[in-house]
Structure 1
Amino acid sequence: MFRPLEVFIGLRYTRAKRRNHFISFISLVSILGIAVGVTALITVISVMNGFDKELKDRILGMVAHATIEGIGESVRDWPEALKVAREDPHVLGAAPYVERQAMLQGTRVSGAIIRGIDPALEAGVSEIGARMVDGRLDALVPGKFGIVLGKELAMTLGVGVGDLVTVFAPEFSATPIGAIPRMKRFTVVGVFEAGMQEYDSGLAVVALQDAQTLYRLDGPTGIRLRLDDMFQAFPVGRRLSQQLGQFYRVTDWMQGHSNFFKAIAMEKKVMFLILSLIVAVAAFNLVSTLVMLVQDKQADIAILRTLGQSPASVMGTFMVQGVLVGTLGIALGVLFGVLLSLNLSAIVHWVERTFHVTFLSPDVYYISELPSDLHGSDVAWITLTAFLFCTFATLYPARRAAKTEPAAALRYE
Structure 2
Amino acid sequence: MLSAFLSKRFRHAKRRTGIVSLLSKASTLGVMLGVTVLIVALSVINGFEQQLEERLLSVVPHVSYQAPYEPISDWPQKVETLEAHSNIMAATPEINLTAMVQYKGKLKASQLKAIVPHLHHKVSNVGRYIQGKAISQLAANEVVLGAKIAQALDVQAGDKVTLLVANQHAEQPLAAPKRLTLQVVATINMGGPIDESLTLTHISALQETLGLNKNQVTGLRAKVNDVFSAHDIAMSAGQSIPDLVYVNSWFRTQGSLYQDIQMVRTIVFLVVFLIIAVASFNIVSSMVMEVKDKQANIAILKTMGAKDSTIFATFALQGVTYATIGAVIGTLFGVLMAINLPDLFNAIYSSPESNPLSGVYFVEFLPSKLVWSDIFITLTVTLLLATLASVYPAWQATKTDPAQVLGNN
Normalising by structure 1, we get a TM-score of 0.85
Q: For residue 198 of structure 2, what is the amino acid of its counterpart?
A: L
Deviation of 1:385 (Å): 2.5
CA deviations over 1:149-201 (Å, ceiling 9, x no partner): 111212333322222222222117779xx95432222222222123222x222
Q: Secondary structure at the match of 2:15?
A: coil
- The alignment's C-alpha RMSD in Å is 3.1
The residue that corresponds to 2:325 in the other structure is 328
Q: For residue 268 of structure 1, what is the amino acid of its counterpart?
A: R
CA–CA distance in structure 2, aligned partners of residues 294 and 268 of structure 1: 39
Which of 104, 113, 116 does residue 115 from structure 1 map onto? 113
Which of 195, 199, 215 does residue 200 from structure 1 map onto? 195
Verify: 1:97 aligned to 2:105, yes or no: no
Which of 210, 214, 221 does residue 215 from structure 1 map onto? 210
The 10-residue stretch of structure 1 (369-378 or 300-309) with the greater mean CA deviation from structure 2? 300-309
Deviation of 1:363 (Å): 6.6
CA–CA distance in structure 1, aligned partners of residues 68 and 345 of structure 2: 51
Verify: 1:272 aligned to 2:269, yes or no: yes
Q: Secondary structure at the match of 1:360?
A: coil
CA–CA distance in structure 2, aligned partners of residues 134 and 113 of structure 1: 20
Check whether the contact 2:298–2:397 (CA below 8 A) recurs between aligned residues: yes
For the structure 1 residues 404 and 48, does the alpha-carbon distance in structure 2 shift closer, same or farther, using more than 3 Å as the test?
A: same
For the structure 1 residues 7 and 76, does the alpha-carbon distance in structure 2 shift closer, same or farther, using more than 3 Å as the test?
A: farther
CA–CA distance in structure 1, aligned partners of residues 170 and 31 of structure 2: 75
CA–CA distance in structure 2, aligned partners of residues 6 and 261 of structure 1: 50
Which of 35, 49, 58 does residue 61 from structure 1 map onto? 58
Verify: 1:390 aligned to 2:386, yes or no: yes
Structure 2 regions of 5+ residues with no counterpart? none
Q: Secondary structure at the match of 1:394?
A: helix
Deviation of 1:101 (Å): 1.8
The residue that corresponds to 1:301 in the other structure is 298
CA–CA distance in structure 1, aligned partners of residues 175 and 76 of structure 2: 35
CA deviations over 1:331-356 (Å, ceiling 9, x no partner): 11112211221122344556679xx9
Q: For residue 396 of structure 1, what is the amino acid of its counterpart?
A: Y
CA–CA distance in structure 1, aligned partners of residues 179 and 203 of structure 2: 16
Q: For residue 400 of structure 1, what is the amino acid of its counterpart?
A: Q
Which of 154, 158, 168 does residue 150 from structure 2 map onto? 154
Check whether the contact 2:72–2:243 (CA below 8 A) recurs between aligned residues: no
The residue that corresponds to 1:35 in the other structure is 32
The 10-residue stretch of structure 1 (258-267 or 5-14) with the greater mean CA deviation from structure 2? 5-14
The 10-residue stretch of structure 1 (117-126 or 47-56) with the greater mean CA deviation from structure 2? 47-56
Q: Secondary structure at the match of 1:63?
A: coil
CA–CA distance in structure 1, aligned partners of residues 170 and 272 of structure 2: 65
For the structure 1 residues 350 and 244, does the alpha-carbon distance in structure 2 shift closer, same or farther, using more than 3 Å as the test?
A: closer
Q: Secondary structure at the match of 1:404?
A: coil
Structure 1 regions of 5+ residues with no counterpart? none
For the structure 1 residues 350 and 78, does the alpha-carbon distance in structure 2 shift closer, same or farther, using more than 3 Å as the test?
A: closer
Check whether the contact 2:99–2:109 (CA below 8 A) recurs between aligned residues: yes
Q: For residue 292 of structure 1, what is the amino acid of its counterpart?
A: M
Q: For residue 79 of structure 1, what is the amino acid of its counterpart?
A: P
**Aligned ranges for residues 247-266 of structure 1 at < 5 Å?**
247=244, 249-266=246-263
Q: For residue 134 of structure 2, what is the amino acid of its counterpart?
A: R
CA deviations over 1:255-276 (Å, ceiling 9, x no partner): 2221121112212222222223
Check whether the contact 1:34–1:330 (CA below 8 A) recurs between aligned residues: yes
Deviation of 1:118 (Å): 0.8
For the structure 1 residues 309 and 201, does the alpha-carbon distance in structure 2 shift closer, same or farther, using more than 3 Å as the test?
A: same
Check whether the contact 1:37–1:279 (CA below 8 A) recurs between aligned residues: yes
The 10-residue stretch of structure 1 (243-252 or 388-397) with the greater mean CA deviation from structure 2? 243-252
Check whether the contact 1:33–1:282 (CA below 8 A) recurs between aligned residues: yes
> How many residue pairs align between the two structures?
402
Deviation of 1:115 (Å): 0.7
For the structure 1 residues 203 and 338, does the alpha-carbon distance in structure 2 shift closer, same or farther, using more than 3 Å as the test?
A: same
Check whether the contact 2:349–2:355 (CA below 8 A) recurs between aligned residues: no
CA–CA distance in structure 2, aligned partners of residues 31 and 172 of structure 1: 68
Q: For residue 291 of structure 1, what is the amino acid of its counterpart?
A: V
Verify: 1:10 aligned to 2:7, yes or no: yes
Q: Secondary structure at the match of 2:181?
A: strand
CA–CA distance in structure 1, aligned partners of residues 17 and 309 of structure 2: 28
Q: Secondary structure at the match of 1:343?
A: helix
Check whether the contact 1:40–1:337 (CA below 8 A) recurs between aligned residues: yes
Q: For residue 132 of structure 2, what is the amino acid of its counterpart?
A: D
Verify: 1:88 aligned to 2:81, yes or no: no
Which of 140, 149, 172 does residue 138 from structure 2 map onto? 140
CA–CA distance in structure 1, aligned partners of residues 44 and 239 of structure 2: 40
Normalising by structure 2, we get a TM-score of 0.86
CA–CA distance in structure 1, aligned partners of residues 265 and 79 of structure 2: 38
CA–CA distance in structure 1, aligned partners of residues 62 and 85 of structure 2: 14
Q: For residue 167 of structure 2, what is the amino acid of its counterpart?
A: E
CA–CA distance in structure 2, aligned partners of residues 161 and 41 of structure 1: 46
Deviation of 1:306 (Å): 4.8
Q: Secondary structure at the match of 1:201?
A: helix
CA–CA distance in structure 2, aligned partners of residues 114 and 212 of structure 1: 13
Check whether the contact 2:27–2:282 (CA below 8 A) recurs between aligned residues: yes
CA–CA distance in structure 2, aligned partners of residues 122 and 352 of structure 1: 35
**Aligned ranges for residues 174-253 of structure 1 at < 5 Å?**
180-197=176-193, 199-218=194-213, 219-244=216-241, 247=244, 249-253=246-250
The residue that corresponds to 1:405 in the other structure is 401
For the structure 1 residues 124 and 19, does the alpha-carbon distance in structure 2 shift closer, same or farther, using more than 3 Å as the test?
A: same
CA–CA distance in structure 2, aligned partners of residues 357 and 371 of structure 1: 16
